[in-house]
């Protein structure tokens, strides 16, 4: 049954919403209500590749990764549930000298922050992924403390911990409106009735724009479809790092599902046959967004097979056991909106992660919990992630999807 009052309503039962409920409840805020229109994790959380890395070009991203990774390593101690953070590294492989220069550019940042990143030659790459084709590579970059996990498993752990701490989760209930009285949010309207609340957090991914508009707030977040393929078992590659072609955006990593399979993330192919690692530009309007159907475009499967076969001998006769598409929740600078909404008391957002939501979840959730309870995040300064940057035209970040 839907409660009629709560101190905090979190709209969205993905991993960010569940993790935030945990961090709030862990601080004694037990009157927390998470409302999900479908089943927990059925949105963006269900579809991603599960990467966890430190190799970003903006300092705030790296600091978020350092903060999040400390939690991922001790996930069971914090939540009481198991989640495997496979710390096998991220290997970026590069074909061009321009790409190699881009790989070197953030090295001073990594050194200053204590992130163990190193540049690699062809022979080094071949040792990390035996059988990988390297004769067309200029080099690569590797961080051994990067890795990958499983978002649905982690979500279940966060939700279980939050429930034990007193939070309430309600599934299959749509929030249709954020209720506002003057300059303050007073709750939400749902398909099962109204809920009064002191604070409302929109952790609603690419669906945030439409819901925020019901409170008179414009939010530049939109959906961008990406596709994933999973192979039949390939046990010889069970312990390789996440491997990413820098120029194409094609990447793969092991998955324990059904034996040891490989999962492949595939860039989109534009109408002219060009590789599209990310959206060319934001939509002209956020009033009525177009959501591409969640189906795998037919041209991607033969492209993925050919690309995989080119890159590794084990993929010469690759068979895909399954495939799916998911939405990246994009913003104009490929960085999330996290924090209070300027000018609307009681309303906060944690959405728009542009493919990086899972890896930063523990940091995002702790920091947004600090915003909600303390008025401002203090473990890390996240003021640059505020919606204000788009309202004022500030551009503090380097746009990048990978």
Name residue 245's beta-bridge partners.
Answer: 93
For the packed helices 15-26 and 357-374, what is the interaxial angle rounded to 10 degrees? 40
Q: Residue 339 has what DSSP assignment?
A: E
Would you tell me how many other CB atoms lie within 10 Å of the CB of residue 233? Answer: 16
Two structure tokens written together for 243 = 């491997």
Two structure tokens written together for 7 = 């101190």
User: Tokens 């710390």 sit at which residue?
Assistant: 87
Q: Which domains does the chain have, with CATH numbers?
A: 5-50+152-221+333-392 (3.50.50.60), 86-147+227-328 (3.30.9.10)
Is the pLDDT assigned to residue 289 strictly greater than 70? yes
Query: Does the pTM of the predicted model rise above 0.85?
Result: yes
List, in order, residues 6 or more apart from 302 with CB less than 8 Å away: none
* Each residue's pLDDT tens digit, 2-52: 999 999 999 999 999 999 999 999 999 989 999 999 999 999 898 888 999
* Each residue's pLDDT tens digit, 153-162: 999 999 999 9
- Contact indicator for 32, 8 with CB cutoff of 8 Å: yes
Two structure tokens written together for 242 = 């996440």
Name the band, by pLDDT with cuts 50, 70 and 90, for residue 258. Answer: low
CA atoms within 13 A on the CB side of 223: 20
Would you tell me how many other CB atoms lie within 10 Å of the CB of residue 213? Answer: 15
Instruction: Give dist(CA 274, CA 177) in Å, integer.
Output: 40
Name the band, by pLDDT with cuts 50, 70 and 90, for residue 384. Answer: very high
Listed residue (301, 337, 300) closest to 319, CA to CA: 301
pLDDT score of 398 = 85
List, in order, residues 6 or more apart from 303 with CB less than 8 Å away: 266, 269
Instruction: Give dist(CA 20, CA 99) in Å, integer.
Output: 37
pLDDT score of 46 = 86
Would you tell me how many other CB atoms lie within 10 Å of the CB of residue 111? Answer: 11
Q: Residue 28 has what DSSP assignment?
A: T
Name the band, by pLDDT with cuts 50, 70 and 90, for residue 330. Answer: very high
Name residue 148's beta-bridge partners.
Answer: 51, 86
Two structure tokens written together for 251 = 């990447």
């Amino acid at each position: 049954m839907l409660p009629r009052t709560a101190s905090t309503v979190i709209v969205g039962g993905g991993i960010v919403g569940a993790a935030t409920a945990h961090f709030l409840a862990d601080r004694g805020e037990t009157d927390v209500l998470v409302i999900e229109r479908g089943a927990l994790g059925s949105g963006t959380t269900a579809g991603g590749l599960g990467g966890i890395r430190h190799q970003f070009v903006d300092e705030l991203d790296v600091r978020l990764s350092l903060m999040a990774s400390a939690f991922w390593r001790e996930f069971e101690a914090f939540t009481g549930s198991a989640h495997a953070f496979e710390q096998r590294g991220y290997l970026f492989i590069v074909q061009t000298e321009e790409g190699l220069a881009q790989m070197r550019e953030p090295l001073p940042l990594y050194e200053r922050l204590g992130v163990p990143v190193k540049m690699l030659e062809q022979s080094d790459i071949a040792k990390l992924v035996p059988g990988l084709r390297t004769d067309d590579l200029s080099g690569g970059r590797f961080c051994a403390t990067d890795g990958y996990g499983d978002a649905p498993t982690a979500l279940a752990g966060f939700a279980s911990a939050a429930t034990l701490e007193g939070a309430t989760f309600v599934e299959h209930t749509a929030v249709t409106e954020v209720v506002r009285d003057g300059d303050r949010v007073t709750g939400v309207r749902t398909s099962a009735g109204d809920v009064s609340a002191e604070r409302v957090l929109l952790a609603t991914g690419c669906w945030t724009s439409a819901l925020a508009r019901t409170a008179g707030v414009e939010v530049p977040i939109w959906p961008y479809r990406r596709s994933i393929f999973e192979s039949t078992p390939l046990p010889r590659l069970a312990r390789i790092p996440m491997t990413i072609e820098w120029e194409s955006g094609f990447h793969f990593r092991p998955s324990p599902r059904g034996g040891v399979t490989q999962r492949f993330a595939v860039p989109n192919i534009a109408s002219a046959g060009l590789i599209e690692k990310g959206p060319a530009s934001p939509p002209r309007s956020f009033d009525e967004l177009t959501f591409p159907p969640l189906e795998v475009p037919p041209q991607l499967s033969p492209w993925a097979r050919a690309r995989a076969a080119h890159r590794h001998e084990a993929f010469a006769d690759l068979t895909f056991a399954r495939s799916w598409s998911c939405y990246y929740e994009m913003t104009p600078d490929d960085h999330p909106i996290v924090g209070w909404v300027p000018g609307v008391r009681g309303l906060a957002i944690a959405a728009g992660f542009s493919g990086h939501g899972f890896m930063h979840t523990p940091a995002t959730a702790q920091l947004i919990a600090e915003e909600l309870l303390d008025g401002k995040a203090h473990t890390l300064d996240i003021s640059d992630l505020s919606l204000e940057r788009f309202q004022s035209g500030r551009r503090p970040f380097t746009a990048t999807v990978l």
